Each structure stands twice: as C-alpha cells, then as structure tokens.
Amino acid sequence: MNRTVQISFIGSTIYLSWLAMMGVHEFGHVLHACCSGGSVSRVSIPAFGFSLTEIGHNPSPHFVAWGGPVWGSLLPLGMWGLARACKQRYWFVVRFFAGFCLVANGAYLGVGSIIRAGDAGDLMSYGSPQWLLVAFGVVTVPVGLYLWNGLGRHFGLGRPHGVVGERPPHPLLTGVLSFRGN
C-alpha cells in the first residue's frame, strides 16, 4: 500500500469515526428525549470540537442523559455485526468504528465521573452513582480495545513480511547493541 494512501486512509478513518461517534451519541440523547416526551432544541456536531444536544422540554433528564453513551455504544456494535454478517468488504472499518465508540463513550463516562464533566457530571447530579459510570467505562473500554486488536494489518500496519536476522544491519550497531555498560 502506498504510504500516502495508507496515512490518508488511517487519518480519514479516525476523523470520520470521531464525527460519526458524536452523531450516534447525540442520536441516543435525541431518541431518549423523544421517547420520554421531551423536545430537542438543537443538535450540534462541529467539524472540530465536541458535540452537544440541547433539550427544550425534558421531563426525564436522567433517561435522556443515559441515551447518548448507551446508544452511542450499542448502535456501532450492531452496525459492525451487520457489516460482518453481510460480508462487507470494509467490515474492518466498521469494527474500528465500533471499538472507537466503545472506548470514547466508556472513557467519557469513566473519566468524566472523576472530574464531574459532561454527561457524567449530569448523570451524577441526576442520581447515578459514580461506581456505575466507572463500571460502564471498565466494561466498554476493554471491549473496544478488543475490537481494535488485530485490525492493523487491514490498515497496512503490522509485521513486515521479511525476517530480520540476528546481526544488526550495520557494523557500528554491533558495538552499540553489545555494549552492556558498567
């Protein structure tokens, strides 16, 4: 794979995953707002920065606050399962995205509960215990990392096909590598 194409592919996958992660996260807030009889004033997903859903009438703020991280994690997992079942050519991009969403939402609630920021701060003010937010992160982050495991080869990363010998490629390195110090 051409290095420029590889870097562009990896960079665009990460950036688009960020934007899409914010989209499914905010969709979860919107879905819970609509299901609870609330109204949405505005959803903002900026090209750079953090997304925000502003709720007008919100009869169930606790329920609405949980919607973002829950659906922001479950929907991408469902998308990956569907892509894999349909044997889509680029299933690994959807798997990367699902892992990205799990890591992002888990870290957002887990770390956010410590500094009481964002949705985590809201959830705690509505009565969610900190341990629950940390537990959400403890479950989702490792699952997201698991989903990422082994994907590097699909992005052109990983082991080279050649075998590196035991001798260093340059005589100068022989002395440097064999130096053990005093």
Specify the pLDDT at position 155.
Answer: 81
pLDDT tens by residue, 116-154: 999 999 999 999 999 999 999 999 999 999 999 988 888
Q: Which residue has the higher pLDDT, 161 or 117?
A: 117
Q: Which residue has the higher pLDDT, 175 or 152?
A: 152
Is residue 169 predicted with pLDDT exceeding 80? no
Are 101 and 21 within 8 A, CB to CB? Answer: yes
> How crowded is the C-beta side of 64, counted as CA atoms within 13 Å?
20
Cα–Cα dist 99/145, whole Å? 6
**Average pLDDT of the chain, as a whole number:** 87
DSSP-assigned states of every residue in 72-132: HHHHHHHHHHHHHHTT-TTHHHHHHHHHHHHHHHHHHHHHHHHHT-HHHHHHHHTT--HHH
* Mean pLDDT, rounded, for 85-101: 92
Which helix (DSSP H) or strand (DSSP E) does residue 41 occupy?
strand 40-44
Specify the pLDDT at position 162.
Answer: 47
Specify the pLDDT at position 170.
Answer: 47
Tell me how many degrees the CA angle 43-55-138 measures, rounded to the nearest 5: 80
Question: What separation in angstroms does the CA of 117 have from each of 51, 55, 98, 102, 168?
Answer: 14, 18, 23, 18, 50
Which helix (DSSP H) or strand (DSSP E) does residue 171 occupy?
helix 171-178
Specify the pLDDT at position 161.
Answer: 55
pLDDT tens by residue, 41-91: 999 999 999 999 999 999 999 999 999 999 999 999 999 999 999 988 888
Q: How confident is the model at residue 112 (pLDDT cuts 50, 70, 90)?
A: very high
Specify the pLDDT at position 175.
Answer: 45
Task: Report DSSP state, residue 36.
Answer: T
% of the chain surpassing 70 pLDDT: 86
Specify the pLDDT at position 89.
Answer: 82
DSSP-assigned states of every residue in 42-76: EEE--SSS--EEEESS-S-HHHHHHHHHHHHHHHH
